[in-house]
Each structure stands twice: as structure tokens, then as C-alpha cells.
Amino acid sequence: MKKQIGNALALYPTPLVVVGTMVNGKPNWALVGHVGIIGHDRVLLSMAKPHYTNRGIRETGKLSINIVDEKLLPLADRAGCVTGAKEDKSELFPYIIGDSGTPIIEQAPVVMECTVDDIYVTEGFESFICKIDRTLAEERVLDDSGRIDYRVMKPILFEMPTYEYLSTGDVIGKCMSFGNKD
């Protein structure tokens, strides 16, 4: 029997990313776990309004989404502990500037450079609807067909209730292999 647990946000775990943008001409980084997919070419980032990063996103309309793996996690965690409003985080990660002008973490296995399409505002939050301009992936995480191999990349997952990081698990089957009877 299920117990009602209020209206708890239960959609976890989610992939963990570092959002990069330029603020006042310098890169700034924030750790974000509240991410979503919209269609096949857009993603959503839900970010608290006061974040320093939001200022840069609104100014430039551009951001990078850097997927976090285990190697990147210690520095990524730091990006979630301090605000760029109080501490300069521009040198936290070695970075390059991408074709869209966004800062890209060199060590990140996969990065999406995005243009902000829309902002959905709710109490205390700005959710940025982002169109993916280009995706960059380290060759070591690509399979023979050039697709990202998530068994190799092993993105870190985030869950809010215990505020912990999870690693991705084993492959348990091919999609539609259980349900497709034809």
C-alpha cells in the first residue's frame, strides 16, 4: 500500500551538469541537477533566480551544459558550493571558448553549447529553455558509430532527498525488447 508523502518532487535521479556562461566578460560555473528534455533539440535548466550565473545567461543568451563524470565531480561539486557573486570561479576549470562564445570545460566528456530560447519563470526560479547549437564529445566516449556510449561515459546522477550523487548502473535490456511482441 502506498503512503502519501505530500507533493514531494520525486523525479530523481537526474543527470548532473555544470552550466557555464560568461558574466561580465569572465566564465562562471554553477552545478545544476534540475535538468529536463524538451523535444529532441531543446533542454531545460531550472535555476534559482538569485544565482550569479543567471545574470550572465540573461545578458548573453548563451550557455554551455557540461556533463559531469566521476573525474569531474570534485570540481563540479565546488561549483555548487560557492557563488560567483562572492568568489571568482572563472579559473575553477581549465576551459576553452566554444564557437557560440560559451566557456567549455576541457575535462568534461560531453558538452552542449546552447542558445536560450525562452525563460519560464516560477516563484523563485528561472527555467531556461535552451536550443542545442552543437554538441562536443571526447572521442574516448564515442562508440564505433560515433554515438555517445553512456556505459563508457558514466554520467553522475543527482538526487535531492538525501542530497547525494549516484553512479549509473548496468545495462538491463534494449529498449522495446520487453514490450514489442511483433
Judged by the rule CB under 6 A, the positions of this chain that interact with ligand FMN are: 28, 30-34, 46-48, 51-53, 80, 82-85, 158
Residue 76, judged by CB atoms within 10 A of its CB (0-12, 13-18, 19+), counts as buried
Q: How far is the CB of 26 from ligand FMN (least distance, A)?
A: 11
We find the least distance from the C-beta atom of residue 67 to ligand FMN, in angstroms, to be 14
Identify which of residues 50 and 101 has a Cβ nearer to ligand FMN in the complex: 50
Q: Which residue is nearest to ligand FMN (CB)?
A: 80
Contact of 100 with 133, CB cutoff 8 Å: yes
Least Cβ distance, residue 84 to ligand FMN (angstroms): 3
Q: At its nearest, how many Å lie between ligand FMN and the CB of residue 182?
A: 40
- Between 21 and 110, name the residue whose CB sits nearer to ligand FMN: 21
User: What count of other Cβ atoms lies within 10 Å of the Cβ of residue 175?
Assistant: 7
Closest to 152 measured CA to CA, from 31, 71, 90, 37: 71
CA 146 vs. chain centroid, Å, equals 21
Cβ distance to ligand FMN smaller for residue 125 or 142: 125
Among residues 24, 65, 36, 4, the alpha carbon closest in space to that of 125 is found at 36
